[in-house]
Amino acid sequence: MATEDDARTLALALPETSERPMYGTPAFYVVKKWFARMHEMPGVMVLPLAAEEHKHELVAADPGVFFTTPHYDGYAAVLVRLAEIGHEELGELLAEAWRLRAPRRLQR
């Protein structure tokens, strides 16, 4: 349902967001901290979360959309299949990730 272009549009609409490469793929930054990036797997986005427990909850609730790999074991980050997530839900997840990384002055 969502595409990489949708993810880019939603991410760049957030305040003081920029795009630059991370590990050879597009990533989105608020000031100097990344809050989302495209994974090497086509159509997959990586999003940081507040806690690793949240990752496990998302994966258990909807494994068709959310998943992880051994690389992310021990990290509060989840992989999202863009083709399986709605535009609105993706926007909410990106905004949540942005809030996790944005300076307090921007969150006001």
Tell me the mean pLDDT in the region 62-71.
97
Residue 108 confidence (pLDDT) above 90: no
Q: How would you write 24-87 as a 3-class SS string?
A: CEEEEEECCEEEEEECCCCCEEEEECCCHHHHHHHHHHCCCCEECCHHHCCCCEEEEEHHHCCH
Alpha-carbon distance of 51 to 14, in angstroms, equals: 22
Residue 64 confidence (pLDDT) above 90: yes
Domain CATH number, residue 99: 3.90.1150.30
Residue 67 confidence (pLDDT) above 80: yes
Mean residue pLDDT across the chain: 96
User: Looking at the 3D structure of the chain, how many domains does it have?
Assistant: 1
Task: Give the model's pLDDT for residue 107.
Answer: 82
Cα dist from 14 to 58, 68, 86, whole Å: 23, 25, 18
Instruction: Provide the domain limits for residue 90.
Output: 4-107
Supply the pTM of this predicted model.
0.95
Alpha-carbon distance of 102 to 108, in angstroms, equals: 10
